[in-house]
Structure 1
Amino acid sequence: MSPLSRRRFLGASLAAAGAAAVASVAGCASGPPTVRPPATPRPLAIPPLAPSTRDAAGRRVVELVAAPGTHEFLPGLATPTWGYGGLPFGGPTVRARRGEEVVLRVTNRLPETTTTHWHGATLPARADGGPHQPIPPGGTWEASWRLDQPAATLWYHPHPHGRTERHVHRGLCGLFLVDDDVPVDLPARYGVDDVPLVLTDRSFTPDGAFDEQHRNAVGLLGDTVLVNSTVAPYLDVTTTRVRLRVLNASPARSYRVVLDDETPLTLVGTDGGLLPAPRVVDGVVLTPGERAEVVVDLVPGRRRVLRSVSHDLGAVNGVTRAAGAHDSFDLLELRPAPRLEPSPPLPARLSREAPLAEAAAARTRRFTLSHDRINGLAMDMTRVDEVVPVAATEIWEFTNRHTLPHNMHVHDARMQVLERGVPAAERPWKDTVAVPPARTVRALVRVGPHADPEVPYMLHCHLLRHEDDGMMLQFLVVAPGQRPATTITGAHDDHG
C-alpha cells in the first residue's frame, strides 16, 4: 500500500489515533475466514424508522421489543436470529431531536437476560443501558432523559457483562439518529438521499445458523458481509448527492471504506457529531463501534461501488491477517438513475460547536491496556475504578502495552483526540478511539452533565470479545458535595 497522503491520513485519523487504527489480535492459531465473493445482488434493505408517540407530558415514546426470529441471508436457508422492533435481525432506526424528552421502553422476549445500551448518548447513568440495567426475560425496562447533544449518528445494542459479543452477533443492534434543533443543509430524506449503512459480518454453518464457535483471539469474524442485513446490496439513487451514515457494528472486524475508482469521499461527521466543515478524504477507517457520515457525488447512469480495502493495523503482519484487515471486498453498489434530481451544494460550515480546550483540562487520567485488562485489572461489577466530576473536561491517556490493537469506548462522553499537527478546530468528535500496539493515545474527554454517586458508566474495549473477557472498568460521575459509593451494590454480573 502506498504511503498515506495528507487527505488519506486525515480520513483515517478520524477513525482512530493515526493511520494505524483498528481492532485486532495477535498470536491467533488460525486466521479468519476470507470474505466470500459477492453473491447475486439484492436491493439494500433500509431499516424502518421506529414508530413513536407523545405521552401526556409531551415526551417522545419509543417501544422496542427484543425477540428471536429467523431470516434468509443465504438462498434457501433460514437463519435463527435475534432482533428489535419486529425485525428478525437488527432494529428500527430511532430518531429524535435535540431538546426533546425521550422515553425508550425495551421489552425482553428473549430466552435470557439482556440489556440495551444507547451508544454515544449523553444521558443519566440509570438510563445508559449498560450491564447494571438488566432486562430479564419477560421484563420491560424504561430509559428517559432530555436529549442535549448535537446532531449525531448514535446506535443501540446489548451490553450484558460477559455476553455482549453473542447478543450483538445474533443480530441485536440499531441506529439512533439525533437531529439538531437548528438543521444543517445536508441530504436529510431518510432512505432516499440520507441512507443508513450498518456493516457487519457473519459465517454460517451448513444448516444456515450463525457460526458462533470458530473465533480467534480477536473475536468472531465472518466470511459474509451484511449491510443492513443484506448480502451483496445495491442502492438505486435518484439524486446527485447521497449521504451515507456508516456504522461498524461488527464484533471484531474493521473496515477501510473507499470508492472503487479511488475518487475521494466527503466526510461530514464522525461518532460524536458533525465536523466543523466538510472534509475531502481518500477513505475512512472504522473500527468496531465507530461511525462516519460521508457524502458521495454521483452522475446519471454511472455506477459506483463502496468497498472496504486492505489497511494497516499498526501491528505485525500476522495480526493484520488474523483480524481480517488484509481482505478487500465490495460493500454497496450505487446505481444512479439516468436522470438525477439536483442536490444543493454542501454548506461551508456544518457545526459551530467550539472544540475542547487542552488548557481547560482539570487533570490527566492514565489507562494501560494489556491482556484484556485495564491498569492490570479485570472488570469487577462491584468495584469503583474512577470518580469523575460532573461535566468535567479531562485528558485521558490510553497506553497499549499489548502486542494487540485495542479500541476504547467511553460511555456518557464526547472526546477529541489530541494529534500532532491537527489543529483544535479540525478535531472530530468521538466516543470510540483505537489504540494501536506500543502507542499512547491522548484524548480530551468531556463527560455529561448527569451526576449519580451510586450508578456507574463504563469504559471498555469495543472488540466485544475483549470486553466480555474483562477489558472494562467503571466510573462514577459526581456533583460537588456528593459522596461517591465505595462499592456498587445490587450489581448484576452475568459474566461467564
Structure 2
Amino acid sequence: MRLINRREMLAASAGAAALLAGSPLARRSAFAAERPALPIPRELRPGPNGEVRLNASPSSVEFLSGVKTPTFGINGPYLGPAIRARSGETLQMRVHNGLAQDLTMHWHGLKIPGDVDGSPYNIIRPGANWDIALPIDQHAATCWFHPHVYPATAELVIKGLAGLFLIDDEQSDALPLPSTWGVDDIPVIIQDRHFNSDGAFFHRFNLAAVTTGYVEDVALINGAVYPQAKTARGWIRLRLLNGSNARSYRLAISDDRPFFVIASDGGLLEEPVRLSELTMYAGERYEVLVDARNGNPFELVTRPVSQLAMNLPPFDTDLPLVTFVPDGADGRGRLPDALVPLEPLDVNLPPVSRNFVMNMNLDDQGMKLFREAGLMAMNKSGKSDAETLRKVRALLYDGPPLSLSQQLSANAVNGKSFALNEVSDNAPIGVNLRWRLSEGDDRMLHPVHIHGCQFRLLSISGKQPPAHMRGWKDIAPVEKGGFCDIQVAFRHPASRQYPFMLHCHILEHEDSGMMTDFTVS
C-alpha cells in the first residue's frame, strides 16, 4: 500500500463528507493548508516533593481551517500532559477544576485505593481542588487519566479531557527499548470526532448514542488531523491509546511491514508478539515496536471493523491516521528477544464467583429504527448506497435527544441500571478470583473496564486469548453473547463511600446505566 498524499487525503475526506450530506466537512474547503506536525504531549514529572499539578480549563482549538472549536484541556487547550512516574513513588496530586461544571479525574489502569480512584464518587466542584496522595504500586505501564463524572463522562472526554500516565521501573530501565520521548518513543492517542456546523464537537444522547456509542467521521491523533511525525531512524516505539468514546480500530502499517507488541494495558509482556494487524477497543493501550531502520516513511492506518455503525465513510476503507518519516539520527533502541517475566496464572483458582452481564435495554421499536435506517444490513456488507447513508446519518446525528430518565435506564449490568450510592457487591482483598464478564443480548461489543486492578484474561468465549492479550489488562472485550473469564485480585481497599466501578468503556453506554460498583475489604 503506497502513502496517500495530502491532496488525495483531502479528496477522500471530501468524498466521504459528500456521502454524509450535511456534514460540515462538506461545507468547508479543507483542513489547514499544511499538514500539522504530530503534537507530542509534554512530559510532566513530579516536583521535588512528589507534587503534580493538573488544571482543567476551557479553551478553543482550530481543528477546521478558520473555525475555532470550543474545547476543554488539562494544562493546555486540548488533552493533557503525559504524567511520568516511577514504581514505588507517591505522587502528591492536585487537580484544579477550572470548569463551570463538576469534574472528577480517574487514573485509568492504576492499582490504587478507592478513595483516590477518581470515580463518580470523587467529585471536584467548580473552582475547587482535589488534593490526594497517589501511591504508584505497580510495574512499568502506559496508563491514562480522564474524567469519570456520572452521567457526563462522554461529553467531558469528547471536549478534550484526557492524558497519558506513564510508569517506569527498574525492569523497564534494564531493557534496550527506544526511550527518547517524541523521537523514537512516541505517544499515539487515537480519537474520532464529528463537528457541528459552527465547529463545535457534536454530542447528543439520542437513541443511536446509547446503542452504538459516539460514531464520528474525523480521526484525531494527539489532537491533530492526519499529522506527520519526523522520528529517529531505527526501531520506533509507539505507545498506542484508543482514547475514543466508542470506536474500535484495526491498526496496520501502510506498507504491510510487521510490528511487535511489547506491552498491553498493564505493562510489558514476557516476549514481543509479531503481528501485521492489531485490534484496539475503547480505552485499551498497547506498546508496539516498528522497524524503521531502512528510513522509509510509513503510515499507521485503520481498517474497517464489524462494530455496529463503525464502517461509515471514511472508516469504510483503509484510512491513514498519521505518517512517520524516519529521517533523524539512528535510534539507540532495539527489539529484545525477551521482556519481563509474568507471574504464572493461579492453577487453583475457584470456579466463577461473579458473572457481570452487560445488558442493553433497546426495545423492539428501537431495533426497528435501526433496521429501517439500513444500519444492520450496512454493517454486514461494509458498504451501502447514498440513500442508506443519509438515513444512517439522520439516525446518528439528527435523532432527538432522550430525556435524562430515558438515558439513565437505557443500559444495565445484570439487569440493573447504575445508580449512585447503591453499591451492589463486595470483593475480598488480596484473593485471586475468577470472574466472568458477559454480553447479554447477542447484539453488541462491550469493552469492559474494572477499576483498582490489573487482571489476566483466562479465555475469550472459551478460547485461549491471543498472545498479545495474555499480559496484564484492565479492558476485556465481550461481544455478541460472548464472555471473558479473568483472574483478578484487588490489593487495595474500596469503601462504600468510595467503591470501585465496573463498566463498559463505550462511554455512552457507561453514561446510560451500563456500570456497577463494588467494595473491596
Normalised by the length of structure 2, the TM-score is 0.79
Aligned to 2:59: 69
Between the aligned partners of 1:51 and 1:181, the Cα distance in structure 2 is 17
1:389 aligns with 2:428: yes
Aligned partners of 1:32 and 1:322 also within 8 Å:
no
Q: 2:74 aligns with which of 46, 59, 84?
A: 84
* Compared CA separation, residues 270 and 303, structure 1 to 2 (3 A): same
Shift of 1:361: 4.4
Structure with larger RCO (C-alpha < 8 A, sep 6+) = 1
Aligned partners of 1:35 and 1:223 also within 8 Å:
no
* Compared CA separation, residues 326 and 428, structure 1 to 2 (3 A): farther
CA distances 1:86-108 after superposition (whole Å, capped 9, x unpaired): x1110011000000111211000
> In structure 1, the residue corresponding to 2:155 is in which secondary structure?
helix
Aligned to 1:196: 187
Aligned to 2:399: none
* AA matched with 2:182: G
Shift of 1:453: 5.6
Q: 2:98 aligns with which of 106, 109, 118?
A: 109
Between the aligned partners of 2:194 and 2:140, the Cα distance in structure 1 is 34
Aligned to 1:405: 445
Aligned partners of 1:34 and 1:324 also within 8 Å:
no
Aligned to 1:331: 321
Shift of 1:222: 2.0
* AA matched with 2:438: T
Aligned partners of 1:361 and 1:444 also within 8 Å:
no
Normalised by the length of structure 1, the TM-score is 0.83
* Compared CA separation, residues 425 and 331, structure 1 to 2 (3 A): closer
Aligned to 1:417: 457
Shift of 1:220: 2.0
* AA matched with 1:124: P
* Compared CA separation, residues 392 and 166, structure 1 to 2 (3 A): same
Between the aligned partners of 2:518 and 2:295, the Cα distance in structure 1 is 53
Aligned to 1:481: none
Aligned to 1:180: 169
Q: Is there any run of 5+ residues in structure 1 with no aligned partner, and where? A: 1-29, 479-496
Aligned partners of 1:32 and 1:222 also within 8 Å:
no
Aligned partners of 2:93 and 2:134 also within 8 Å:
no
Between the aligned partners of 1:306 and 1:228, the Cα distance in structure 2 is 13
CA distances 1:65-86 after superposition (whole Å, capped 9, x unpaired): 000001111111111100001x
Aligned to 1:476: 519
CA distances 1:163-188 after superposition (whole Å, capped 9, x unpaired): 00001011000000000133232111
* AA matched with 1:112: Q
Aligned partners of 1:70 and 1:88 also within 8 Å:
yes
1:41 aligns with 2:41: no
Aligned partners of 2:24 and 2:196 also within 8 Å:
no
* Compared CA separation, residues 75 and 325, structure 1 to 2 (3 A): closer
Shift of 1:34: 12
CA distances 1:147-205 after superposition (whole Å, capped 9, x unpaired): 11010000000000110000101100000000013323211111111111111111112
CA distances 1:246-283 after superposition (whole Å, capped 9, x unpaired): 10111111111110122211100110111111110111
Between the aligned partners of 2:313 and 2:205, the Cα distance in structure 1 is 13
Superposition pairs for residues 337-416 of structure 1, below 5 Å?
337=327, 340-361=329-350, 364-371=353-360, 372-402=411-441, 403-416=443-456
Shift of 1:312: 3.7
Shift of 1:208: 1.5
Between the aligned partners of 1:442 and 1:426, the Cα distance in structure 2 is 13
Q: Is there any run of 5+ residues in structure 2 with no aligned partner, and where? A: 1-19, 361-410
Aligned partners of 1:456 and 1:476 also within 8 Å:
yes
Aligned to 2:250: 256
Shift of 1:383: 1.4
Shift of 1:360: 3.4
Aligned to 1:134: 123
Q: 1:211 aligns with which of 202, 212, 226?
A: 202
Aligned partners of 1:355 and 1:424 also within 8 Å:
no
Q: 2:218 aligns with which of 214, 219, 224?
A: 224
Between the aligned partners of 1:467 and 1:443, the Cα distance in structure 2 is 21
1:440 aligns with 2:483: yes
The percent of aligned pairs where both chains have the same amino acid is 34
Shift of 1:457: 0.4
Between the aligned partners of 1:208 and 1:241, the Cα distance in structure 2 is 38
Aligned partners of 1:319 and 1:404 also within 8 Å:
no
**RMSD, matched Cα:** 2.5
* Compared CA separation, residues 323 and 442, structure 1 to 2 (3 A): farther
* Compared CA separation, residues 424 and 136, structure 1 to 2 (3 A): same
Between the aligned partners of 1:91 and 1:280, the Cα distance in structure 2 is 31
Superposition pairs for residues 294-333 of structure 1, below 5 Å?
294-313=288-307, 321=311, 326-333=316-323
CA distances 1:461-489 after superposition (whole Å, capped 9, x unpaired): 000000000100001000xxxxxxxxxxx
Between the aligned partners of 2:446 and 2:314, the Cα distance in structure 1 is 15
> In structure 2, the residue corresponding to 1:166 is in which secondary structure?
helix
